[in-house]
Amino acid sequence: MSLPIDLLYTKEHEWLNEKKGNVIIGITDFAQSQLGDIIFLELPDIGDKIIAGEPFGEVEAVKTVSELYAPVNGTVIEVNDDLEDSPGKVNQDCYGKGWIIKIKLDEPIDKDNLLDHQGYAKLIE
Q: pLDDT tens-digit profile of 6-18?
A: 999 999 999 999 9
Residue 73 lies in a domain: yes
Q: How confident is the model over 10-40, as pLDDT tens digits?
A: 999 999 999 888 999 999 999 999 999 999 9
How many domains would you assign to the chain? 1
Which amino acid type is present at position 56? F
The C-alpha atoms of residue 39 and residue 57 are separated, in whole angstroms, by 14
Residue 86 lies in a domain: yes
Please report the pLDDT score of residue 1 as a whole number: 77
**Mean pLDDT taken over the chain:** 95
Tell me: pLDDT of 92 over 80. yes
Residue 3 lies in a domain: no
Residue 64 lies in a domain: yes
Q: Tell me which residue of 116, 104, 114 sits closest to 46, measured CA to CA.
A: 104
Q: Residue 23 sits in which domain range?
A: 8-108
With 0.85 as the threshold, say if the pTM is over it: yes
Residue 1 lies in a domain: no
Mean pLDDT of 60-86: 95
Q: Give Cα 83 to chain centroid, integer Å.
A: 13
Distances (CA, A) of 16 to 35, 41, 83, 96, 105: 19, 18, 18, 12, 12
Please report the pLDDT score of residue 110 as a whole number: 85
Instruction: Please give the helix or strand (H or E) that residue 123 lies within, else none.
Output: helix 117-123
Tell me: pLDDT of 116 over 90. yes
Please report the pLDDT score of residue 111 as a whole number: 86
Residue 115 lies in a domain: no
Residue 49 lies in a domain: yes
Question: Could you tell me the CATH number of the domain that includes residue 56?
Answer: 2.40.50.100
Tell me: pLDDT of 2 over 90. no
Mean pLDDT of 95-117: 93
Residue 123 lies in a domain: no
